[in-house]
């Protein structure tokens, strides 16, 4: 049987980490040797995966942006794995997603990736775009994440000092900088509160 590469995504604060820990628990209870990978860029929890209920698991590979999964350093660990789980997969490099695909298709290890689809500017993360291109299944998680209007959240809006912004670098880890917070929003609220304002600004500039 050909095992699958699966990408589960949700907005922030959608209970993603709890789902990973649950999946991990289920697999290990079935005697599976699970290899857990997280990008080092996600400094939250350092080498641990921690949900808001403070349940946690140490990761097996904390992957740096220039690391290759097919290197000698990691390949033995990968070889012995029955299943690979990836947390915060949006932060992986495109090359690393390709390596996961190669591991999945060549060594036939099932790989389950969890992550965000789009960044605070409403654009796909490079890692997520590559996953959407290559994964056998792309699944939106039933989200616990609600927009302030009550609709399910799809977007991750960034606030700096309590104001929504479209400016700044793509990666600002939640909680690392006290001035920056994230608010999950539905499509309509994201459009109204952020996107339409950015467009208006552009038009205003043209008319100057």
Options 17-25, 31-39, 83-91, 150-158: segment touching Zn ion (CB under 5 A) = 150-158
Q: Residue 151 interacts with Zn ion (CB under 5 A)?
A: yes
Instruction: Write down the least CB distance from residue 57 to Zn ion, Å.
Output: 33
Long-range CB contact pairs, 65-69, < 8 A, 24+: 65/39, 65/40, 65/41, 65/93, 67/96, 68/95, 68/96, 68/99, 69/37, 69/96, 69/99, 69/100, 69/103
Q: Strand 5-9 to strand 111-115: parallel, antiparallel, or no bridges (unpaired)? A: parallel
Phi, psi (degrees; rounded to nearest 5) at 193: -80, -30
139 sits near Zn ion (criterion: CB under 5 A): no
Which residue among the candidates 28, 29, 88, 102 is catalytic per the annotation?
A: 88
Q: Which residues contact 65 (CB under 8 A, 6 or more apart)?
A: 39, 40, 41, 93
When asked if residue 147 is in the footprint of Zn ion (CB under 5 A), the reply is yes
Q: How many residues in the shown chain lie near Zn ion by CB under 5 A?
A: 5
Among the listed residues 63, 109, 189, 194, the single contact to Zn ion using CB under 5 A: 189
Q: Report if residue 194 touches Zn ion, rule: CB under 5 A.
A: no
Choose the binding region for Zn ion from 2-10, 109-117, 140-148, 197-205 (rule: CB under 5 A).
140-148
Question: Does residue 36 bind Zn ion (CB under 5 A)?
Answer: no
Per CB under 5 A, 186 contacts Zn ion: yes
Give catalytic status of residue 140 as yes or no: no
The CA distance from 3 to 193, in Å, is 42
Q: Please identify which residue in 133, 139, 149, 176 interacts with Zn ion, judged by CB under 5 A.
A: 149
The β-bridge relationship of strands 155-160 and 163-165 is antiparallel
The residues that touch Zn ion, with contacts defined as CB under 5 A, are 147, 149, 151, 186, 189
Question: Active-site residues: which are they?
Answer: 88
């Amino acid at each position: 049987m050909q095992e699958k590469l699966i990408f589960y995504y949700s907005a922030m604060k959608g209970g993603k980490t709890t789902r990973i820990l649950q999946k991990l628990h289920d697999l290990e209870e079935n005697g599976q040797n699970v290899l857990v990978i997280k990008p080092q860029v996600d400094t939250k929890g350092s080498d641990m995966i921690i949900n808001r209920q403070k349940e946690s698991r140490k990761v097996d590979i904390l992957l740096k942006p220039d690391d290759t999964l097919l290197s000698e350093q990691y390949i033995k660990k990968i070889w012995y794995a029955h299943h690979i789980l990836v947390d915060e997969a949006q932060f992986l490099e495109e090359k690393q997603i390709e390596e996961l695909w190669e591991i999945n298709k060549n060594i036939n290890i099932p790989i389950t990736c969890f992550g965000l689809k789009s960044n605070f500017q409403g654009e796909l993360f490079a890692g997520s775009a590559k996953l959407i291109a290559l994964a056998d299944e792309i699944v939106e998680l039933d989200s616990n994440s609600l927009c302030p209007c009550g609709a399910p959240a799809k977007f991750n809006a960034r606030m700096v000092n309590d104001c929504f912004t479209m400016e700044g670098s793509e990666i600002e880890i939640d909680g690392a900088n006290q001035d920056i917070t994230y608010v999950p929003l539905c499509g309509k609220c994201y459009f109204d509160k952020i996107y339409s304002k950015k467009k208006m600004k552009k038009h205003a500039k043209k008319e100057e």
